[in-house]
Structure 1
Amino acid sequence: MTQIAKVHAREILDSRGNPTLEAEVTLADGSFGRAMVPSGASTGTKEAVELRDGDKTRYLGKGVRQAVENVNTAIAKALEGFDAADQAGLDRRLIDLDGTENKGRLGANALLGVSLANAHAVAASRRLPLWQSLIEVDAAIRGAAAPASGTPARPSVAGRSQAQPLPIGQRPSAPALPVPMMNIINGGAHADNNVDLQEFMILPVGMDSFSEALRAGTEVFHALKSVLKGHGLSTAVGDEGGFAPDLRSNEEALETILEAIGKAGYKAGEDILLGLDVASSEFFDNGKYNLTGEGKRLTPDQFVDFLGNWCAQYPIITIEDGMAEDDWSGWKQLTEALGNKVQLVGDDLFVTNPKIFREGIERGVGNAILIKVNQIGTLTETLEAIAMADANRYAAVVSHRSGETEDTTIADIAVATSATQIKTGSLSRSDRVAKYNQLLRIEEQLALMNPGAAAKYAGRSAFVSLNK
């Protein structure tokens, strides 16, 4: 019996010591699910609203008691007796109950916590790993479970008819483990240093398995620590577990990482590729991109050239938020200049919102979307955004937030949807490593399900559409 018997929430702490919401869903058969909601530091203006109390005398105004109260009263009452197996229906009920475009009345953090906890409870009831249970949820959203002939089509969360789904291609026959995008040098809003760009990442694509890719990334991380010490630089870490040295320029971060890759015994451009999260909305002002650490103030044209020169000089395969979220013309220029060579990921631009993402697709900007569950606020809408990416040949990168918890749901989402990449921080801080450890468990489960065959790892195939 998958009817909901109880919904409960509480206030807990995230990895930055800020309050966040934890939700629990209990079913009539005793099955139980729990989820914790992440929080971002660098946020897009169009993200769903994270409800905070604003009481400066308590947690500096960042408490979430109102969101918790909303779960324990209005949401709990609305979901009592609801069939938890109907994830899309549950998420629709949550959205309708909130009644706002940005989920600002009850709070996206309240809705998301319950939505994810529900998925965990259903998986427990079915005695399946979460990723395996989510495969069926994902298939239904992709239109595989359209209503029978003569049955009225039920609107999906994004307003599409399930009887007329987006033209989505076949999912891979077996789930694949994603390429980890490991943020090993932090800057921007994630660190207190002179580096303007927010993240410098490594992507171990040349390995045959996720576990070997994780080992390679870990060895480079430790080699980088040694390199930084050798240069007399700090090895303190930022919000996402990467190092936050006070480097002389953004380019020095790339050079230092290349040195660490070599020191660890790997080849940059073959075994390991590089990635950037520019987070350019953070330094876009009055039509210019202000690289304060380098004393540069660049027009959109100049900034496109700046990034293009880096891509020609370094083995960069992915750039996130290369242009500001409101600089649509700049995004178009960047896509035309680099879109067939480099993955261009929209984070602040698309905010995991199917409606906004559709506009980006129609405008022809970017070629990938970053998927953050708390940007949109329900599991169904998250899966719809991934499905839309697949339908339009955009890559989907499942991502954490800078304020995280020990929750590992995003690892299961990445595998269930066969997303080719996951972005979940560096190789330190247990809130980041927890996701990598969950992927190791899933890799083992997949291998046990197919004796004699290793679990598939996306590796270089994640970027087959690019000419680099």
Structure 2
Amino acid sequence: MRIKEVKLRKVLNSFAKPTLEVEVNGVFSSLPSGTSKSKHEIGDVDVDSVLRRFPVRSLIGKEVNDLRDILEVEKEFLRYGNAALALSLSLVKALAREEGKKPYELFGKKGRPIPLVKIVGGGKHARGPDIQEFLVFPKRRNPKSIFLCSEFFHHVGKILREKKTLFGRDLEGGWVTSLKDLEVLKLLREEIDEGGFKLELGVDIAASSLFDGKYHLMGTKGREEMMKFVRSLMKDYDLKYVEDPLEEEDYDGFRELSKEGFVCGDDIFATNPERLRPVARAAIVKPNQVGSLEKTIEFVEKVRELNMMPIMSHRSQDTEDPILTHLAIGLGIPMIKIGISGGERTAKLNELLRVS
């Protein structure tokens, strides 16, 4: 494929903030942004600066014929931060269209990721509970289980409304409630069990956002008290997924908690192969944390080498671009974390339904 046209433009993300979109040969990809961020992320691009400085003309006429070529082109533009990632993802889409393929087919695998979806939000995403995300995922590996998650989402919303504790939705489409952390967990656990929903329950504590030398989760807690509290949550509410239970430098604490439950690391790894250690059972994959498609692929491969599970994830300030779904499928990732409500979320879930 010959690169004939490249355009960069400023567009809006789901939080009505500016972000970068890169268009190549008529197809485009745009960058998401996080609200709760690891200090090890490369950071968001300065869109106006990139629009002024990015050497669009240097791309015109280049030949891109496979994924290896795309990764070689990406190396030339890494100094522009996440703009290099947006370029690479646009090239993936453009090359796939040129060859009559779906974007995931360029990566060599066809996974069947199950959805990990937010039901209730808190933390930096919403006023309410300290825990940032209350999550569910289906017990059975079936892409159409998206509808089971959707049914449960609306079921919980109805109950919160009846209790007069519902106050809208958060950045990722999760319900916002005045209920406290343990009240939310109790409600979700009871509704799953009593309603016969074939779902597992999990949380993203996002502990780094609650840490300033001590943890501020339902009061103030030191490290040992926090670990004891997380253990009690796993046991009392039968949690099958616990993301970021401790702050992002506590490798030893992650290792200890992972012996007792399914612990996933996000901020601690930041999709950076150099930060990855076998201290959790799973690792979140957010390409814009590292700003490179090549580094993202390297990270996923290393996660597998360490016998951990990679989990593809959206960001709180996302866009309607469904490329994340194709990355999850094409890289053979078994789970994809996406909100269940909001156009920027359903764009990815609907793409999963189409492809699967």
Normalised-by-shorter TM-score class: over 0.9
Alpha-carbon distance between aligned partners in 2 of 1:262 and 1:316, rounded to the nearest angstrom: 13
Q: Distance in 1 between matches of 2:43 and 2:235?
A: 39
One-letter code of the match for 1:84?
Answer: V
User: Aligned residue for 1:46?
Assistant: 40
Shift of 1:15: 0.5
Could you tell me how far apart the structure 1 residues matched to 2:244 and 2:40 are? 14
Task: State whether structure 2 residue 222 is matched by structure 1 residue 289.
Answer: no
Partner in structure 1 of residue 324 of structure 2: 410
Root-mean-square deviation (Å): 1.8
TM-score w.r.t. structure 2 length?
0.95
**3-state SS of the aligned residue for 1:5?**
coil
Maintained 8 Å contact 1:223/1:261: no
Matching of residue 134 in structure 1 with residue 69 in structure 2: no
The answer as to 2:312 corresponding to 1:398 is yes
Q: Does residue 10 of the first structure (1) align with residue 9 of the second (2)?
A: yes
- TM-score with structure 1 setting the length: 0.73
Counterpart among 31, 34, 42 of residue 37 in structure 1: 31
Q: Give distance in 2, aligned partners of 1:418 and 1:81.
A: 32
Counterpart check, 1:318 vs 2:251:
no
Counterpart for residue 65 of structure 2? 85
The structure whose Rg is larger is 1
Amino acid at match of 2:22: A
Q: Compared with structure 1, are the counterparts of its residues 47 and 3 closer, same or farther at alpha carbon in structure 2 (3 Å cutoff)?
A: same
Match of 1:210 among 127, 143, 157: 143
Identity of matched residues, %: 29
Does residue 266 of structure 2 align to residue 332 of structure 1?
Answer: no
Q: Structure 2: how far apart are the matches of 1:126 and 1:374?
A: 26
Q: Is the 8 A contact 1:225 1:235 kept in 2?
A: no
Gaps of at least 5 residues in structure 2 are: none
Over residues 280-323 of structure 1, what are the superposed CA-to-partner deviations in whole Å (9 max), with x where a residue is unaligned?
Answer: 1111112x1112xx3x2111111111010111111211111111
Query: Once the 2 structures are TM-superposed, how far is the Cα of residue 262 of structure 1 from its aligned partner?
Result: 4.6
Q: 2: distance between equivalents of 1:258 and 1:11?
A: 43
The yes-or-no answer on 1:122 pairing with 2:95 is yes
How far the C-alpha of 1:88 sits from its partner, in A, is: 4.0
CA drift at 1:334: 3.6
Q: What is the CA-CA distance between 1:192 and the residue it aligns to?
A: 2.1
Shift of 1:3: 2.2
Q: Which residue of 2 aligns with 1:112?
A: 85
Q: Measure, in 2, the Cα distance between the counterparts of 1:208 and 1:51.
A: 36
Aligned structure 1 segments of 4 or more residues deviating by more than 3 angstroms: 86-99
- How far did residue 343 of structure 1 move? 2.2
| Number of aligned residues | 356
Query: What do the CA deviations read for 1:11-58 (whole angstroms, capped 9, x no partner)?
Result: 0001000011111112xxxxx431011011011111113123xxxxxx
Q: Which segments of 5 or more consecutive residues in structure 1 lack a partner in the other structure?
A: 27-31, 53-63, 100-105, 136-173, 444-468
Other structure's SS at 2:119 match = strand
2:134 is aligned to 200
Residue 78 of structure 1: CA displacement? Answer: 3.2
Q: Match of 1:313, as an amino acid?
A: D
